[in-house]
Amino acid sequence: MAIDCMRNIPLTTTKTYQNSKNESQLVFDSSILSHQRNIPQQFIWPDDEKPSLIDPEELPVPLIDLQGFLSGDSQATLEASKLVGEACLKHGFFLVVNHGVDSKLVKDAHNLMDDFFDQPLTQKEKAQRKFGEHCGYASSFTGRFSSSLPWKETLSFQFSPPSTNNECSSSSNKVVQEYFNNKLGDDFNHLGKVYQDYCEAMSTLSLGIMELLGLSMGVGRKPFREFYEDNESVMRLNYYPPCQRPDLTLGIGPHCDPTSLTILHQDQVGGLQVFADGKWRSISPDFNAFVVNIGDTFMAQSNGIYKSCLHRAVVNSEKPRKSLAFFLCPSKDKVVKPPRKLVDNENNQRKYPDFTWPMLLEFTQKHYRADMNTLKVFSKWVQQQRT
């Protein structure tokens, strides 16, 4: 059934999703479209992918308490790593609580989204994402695709933690603050500071989760944590406007994240769904918890032992939905490959070729629309490029 929830694309035709440069592009202005009963055809999804009007069952995901892990309790750490491992073997999603992230920071990060997305379209377009790039403002995917468009707006920006080897001034490490200042001007400096702090908190949390993943796989705390200490990650603000025909469209279509790890914080509206056990299941919002899921890059790094999971977002006709997504990614020069302990030449051979994150990023931005087969098709593409 999972195959029916996405669109298979032969490797030789992966570019057919891209709009030609001569094609007029639809403008997604949420201040107008969110009130229209007749939504443009480009936002109407195929019948077999449209959301059900019946609320799905909730997905039972483990609620992992990180307090003992963060305080150095060895027994609590082993228990947390066990729960993480069980979730990643089953569907790749789990929740973390007592994670050490300041609740006020999370509230501010949610509230300040309105300061950006409530701006006129012309103001938001000052940060417009360019073709082939993954950062900037995107009003739906109107510049990339011509059908099955998501009912959403996003603002994405890069983040890198301060390097221990960086002798430059501390201001050079404030990449998020600099982004907001350069793209949107002084009036948005307060957003830059909050999202800089939020990204730093997410990076710290993700490194802790990498320790738990390493323990759960029997490779120890250090290998994955050290691999991502100099991460070059992506932060995304997601805004899903109301839609008068939520039965026809999707906030984001079925896909697996191509990144390593996603840490998501939902508002209280709800809309996240995961495809598990042959059907779509919901993950209810919990302000005190972060939703964590495995992405394709870490699936390759685990040699396919841990799976990235198909998920999507639905919209509603009454309220906007907002979420904060931090995508952990390795630095551009790191080669993604599994630790030797996870590769057995007889029983557990290498499933994916070596690659770098920029290679997979370019593939998903220029050649292929992410779905549940991204890693499989990307692996074939890498092999073709090398031969």
Catalytic residues: 321
On whether the CB atoms of residues 146 and 29 are closer than 8 A, the answer is no
Full strand arrangement of the beta sheet holding 252-255: 252-255, 311-313, 272-276, 279-282
Within the chain, what is the greatest distance between any pair of CA atoms?
Answer: 61
Pairing of strands 252-255, 335-336: unpaired
Q: Who's near 367: CB < 8 A, 6+ residues apart? A: 14, 15, 381
Q: Strand pairing partners for 93?
A: 293
Q: What are phi and psi of 201, to 5 degrees?
A: -65, -40
Closest CA to 134 of 337, 336, 301, 370: 370
Convert the chain into a string of H (helix), E (strand) and C (coil). CHHHHCCCCCHHHHHHHCCCCCCCCCCCCHHHHCCCCCCCHHHCCCHHHCCCCCCCCECCCCEEECHHHHCCCHHHHHHHHHHHHHHHHHCCEEEEECCCCCHHHHHHHHHCHHHHHCCCHHHHHHHECCCCCCCEEEECCCCCCCCCCCCCEEEEEEECCCCCCCCCCHHHHCHHHHHHHHHHCHHHHHHHHHHHHHHHHHHHHHHHHHHHHHHHCCCCCHHHHHHHCCCCEEEEEEEECCCCCCCCCCCEEEECCCCCEEEEEECCCCCEEEEECCEEEECCCCCCCEEEEECHHHHHHCCCCCCCCCEEECCCCCCCEEEEEEEECCCCCCEECCCHHHCECCCECCCCCCEEHHHHHHHHHHHCCCCCCHHHHHHHHHHHHHC
